[in-house]
Amino acid sequence: METLLHILDIFGIAVFAISGALAAGKKRMDLFGVVVLASVTAMGGGTLRDIILDVGPVFWVTNPTYLIVAVAAAVATFFTVRLFSLPPTLLAIADAIGLAVFTILGTEKALAVGMPAVIAVVMGVITGVVGGMIRDVLSGEMPLILRSELYATASFCGAIILTLTISKLQAREIAVLASLIVTLALRLSAIKWKISLPLMSRDKGA
Amino acid sequence: METLLHILDIFGIAVFAISGALAAGKKRMDLFGVVVLASVTAMGGGTLRDIILDVGPVFWVTNPTYLIVAVAAAVATFFTVRLFSLPPTLLAIADAIGLAVFTILGTEKALAVGMPAVIAVVMGVITGVVGGMIRDVLSGEMPLILRSELYATASFCGAIILTLTISKLQAREIAVLASLIVTLALRLSAIKWKISLPLMSRDKGA
Amino acid sequence: METLLHILDIFGIAVFAISGALAAGKKRMDLFGVVVLASVTAMGGGTLRDIILDVGPVFWVTNPTYLIVAVAAAVATFFTVRLFSLPPTLLAIADAIGLAVFTILGTEKALAVGMPAVIAVVMGVITGVVGGMIRDVLSGEMPLILRSELYATASFCGAIILTLTISKLQAREIAVLASLIVTLALRLSAIKWKISLPLMSRDKGA
């Protein structure tokens, strides 16, 4: 399980870096801009989580492997995007896996340093969604998370499932798996059937 | 006084959360987007203050009550805004009270950990205005604080009054009250009579 | 050398504050907006570096001189810009010097607290470019660093040169000088001859 989560963690970094690099490509940035935007997307959430928890230097300072993976994924995207394009469906699925894994890692890290359940859930969501928010702000878009199909909601539900079950079950594996499935199922259904929460609006006609 | 400030603190969190939720409503966000934008507005300033001062986990991690109040205020706003709308004047007054209270709490926290006067003033202003800045950036608006009627200036004057008087007077109550009145008076007069500082401009005709 | 770097450091703060104040002027902000945007531009990079490294309160809290210099430069810009305008070339050269100096100071601070080379380089770049990024986001522009002429690339090369040579040479002066020259040369040539890295693009015609 530890090994699987670690592999998924590296996978999540790479996937989010690719999504950041593709967003950079739309804005006609140069190689360095692409690397910066990809790195911020991949590591922004975990960075904010570590800063808020105040548990020493942030994760990629302690272990630069993450940084190297993000940069490598960004550079690879930069050069391969001219040759062939990734199918959007594949990318959306990969992104959903990244979201689910980051949510689990963020929630677990908060619980590991003794945080109460409500904070652990918030840290899971922050780890999952903040990287994408910074990506959108830096590339001049309205943050996807604030308008889109159950993105943060899926992360939120995954974090709650993990927090509730991990203490009760005494079986971390099952809790982690349940969280992973819930986040993935919610996010992927929302993409497939264009589900979203009701919008806030004063006029009924809109 | 302690109790009054604590009540006003919770009140400030709720008021800023409502202002964030209303901003989210204008952008047609869903429930989760509203909660996120409201929470960031209510707690962004204090979070940045605590991160910069590096005094352990930020305030809402230590005491999740703030988080719960912000989320509750956001959810309540989401559902009631369809039924009836808050009068803008009431909201502007409530927002000014929040600004005044947050300025006091930020300044006091910095002084309490032994910061010099100049840093205490900056921390008061950061606590008062940063939440609204992040709200504006995330919802794609030019930050209000950078252009509007004595918003940050009122916070700045309130923080200076508090810093100057709290050490001289030996009477915390009077210092806090003086700061509260100065910030409120400046901000509310600015709204009523549309006062602003002179703008920076090269052309005299503009 | 220590004295020279300290003078250049203060110089860098002032130069970046002026560039922030000029950006604020374009958006017709008032005096306080100008001071805020100038301060964020001048100190944003170093602030993020110190927060990520988690080495106690950030530099301008420990030593408020930086804050005072930034505010003074912003106020001076606010009042003099009506009387006469700075030649853009002079400003671009001053900005390049600021970039080079901040890159050196960021890289050195990370090495001083025992960070590995790869992190030191990232910290150099963050210190050099993040202030300008926040300035652009707050004033509603697409960040310059993500699109422009070797801005971050120059900082990156300067940080690498410093990191590589400072451990090998045992002569800090030469390493610092080499880094300064590389960053300046790259950035100034890029401005003069409009050099940039290749852009990311799928269509060859664009």
Model confidence at A201: pLDDT above 60: no
E strand residue ranges, B39-183:
none
Contact (CB<8Å) B142/C137: no
Q: What is the mean pLDDT of residues B46-72?
A: 92
CB contact under 8 A, C67 and B199: no
What is the band of B76 on the pLDDT scale with cuts at 50, 70, 90?
very high
Chains touching A (at least 3 CB pairs under 8 A) are B, C
Question: Which of B71-75, B102-106, B185-189, C192-196 has the weakest average pLDDT?
Answer: C192-196
Closest CA to A119 of B47, C52, B31, B3: B47
CB within 8 Å: C122 and A47: no
**Most C CBs within 10 Å: which of B113, B115, B146, as the mutation test of the C interface?**
B146
Instruction: State mean pLDDT over C134-157.
Output: 78
The answer for B 151-170 residues in CB contact with C (under 8 A) is 152-153, 156
**What pLDDT, on the 0 to 100 scale, is given for residue B23?**
81
Mutate to test the interface with A, among C200, C201, C202, C203 (most CBs of A within 10 A): C200
Please say if the pLDDT value at position C157 is more than 80: yes
Instruction: Please indicate whether, in this complex, the C-beta atoms of B81 and A200 are within 8 angstroms of each other.
Output: yes
Taking the Cβ of residue C112 and every Cβ of chain A, the question of whether any pair is shorter than 8 Å is answered with: no
In chain B, what residues touch C82 (CB-CB under 8 Å)? 200-202, 204
- Please give the torsion angle defined by the CA atoms of residues C8, C12, C13 and C15, in that order, rounded to the nearest 10 degrees: 130
Among B51, B115, B201, beta carbon nearest to C28: B201
C57 touching A (Cβ < 8 Å): no
Whether the CB-CB separation of B124 and B107 falls below 8 Å is answered with: yes
Contact B29 A118 (CB under 8 A): no
CA–CA distances in Å: residue C60 to residues B104, C57, C155, C160:
21, 8, 22, 26
Q: Which phi and psi angles does B7 have, rounded to 5°?
A: -65, -45
Strand partners, C30: B199
Predicted local confidence at residue A206, as pLDDT: 34
Q: What are the backbone angles phi and psi of residue B144, rounded to the nearest 5°?
A: -55, -45
pLDDT value of residue A148? 61
Provide mean pLDDT across the span B97-112: 91
List the single residue in A with minimal CA-CA distance to C202.
A82
Q: Which of B146, B156, B202 sits opposite C82 (nearest CB)?
A: B202
pTM, rounded to two decimals? 0.87
**Measuring CA to CA, how many Å separate A179 from each of A109, A148, C58, C129, C177?**
15, 21, 37, 38, 53
CB pair distance less than 8 Å for A200 and B25: yes
Distance from CA of A164 to the nearest CA of C (A): 31
Cα separation, B196 vs A11, in Å, equals 51
C82 and B147 within 8 Å at the Cβ level: the answer is: no
B13-37 pLDDT, tens digit per residue, is 998 998 888 887 777 777 888 898 8
Please judge whether C147 and A30 are an interchain contact, meaning their C-beta atoms are less than 8 angstroms apart.
yes
pLDDT score for C30: 76
The interface predicted TM-score of the complex, written ipTM, equals: 0.81
Q: What is the pLDDT of residue C169?
A: 62
Q: Which of C101, C37, C112 is nearest to C75 (CA)?
A: C37
What does the pLDDT average to over B154-174?
85
What is the nearest CA distance from A7 to chain C, expressed in angstroms?
22
Domain boundaries, chain C: 2-193
Q: Are A53 and A122 in contact (CB under 8 A)?
A: no
Q: Which of C119, C137, C201 is nearest residue A61 as measured by Cβ atoms?
A: C119
Query: What is the band of A118 on the pLDDT scale with cuts at 50, 70, 90?
Result: very high
Tell me: pLDDT of A190 over 80: yes
Chosen for mutation from C30, C63, C80, C135 (greatest number of chain B CBs closer than 10 Å) is C30
Nearest CA among A1, A28, A39 for reference residue A140:
A28
Q: What is the pLDDT of residue B179?
A: 93
Give the pLDDT band (50/70/90) at residue C125.
very high
Inter-axis angle of helices B31-53 and C31-53, nearest 10: 80
pLDDT tens digits, residue range A51-68? 999 888 899 998 999 999
Instruction: Look at the block and give the residue holding tokens 């908060």.
Output: A110
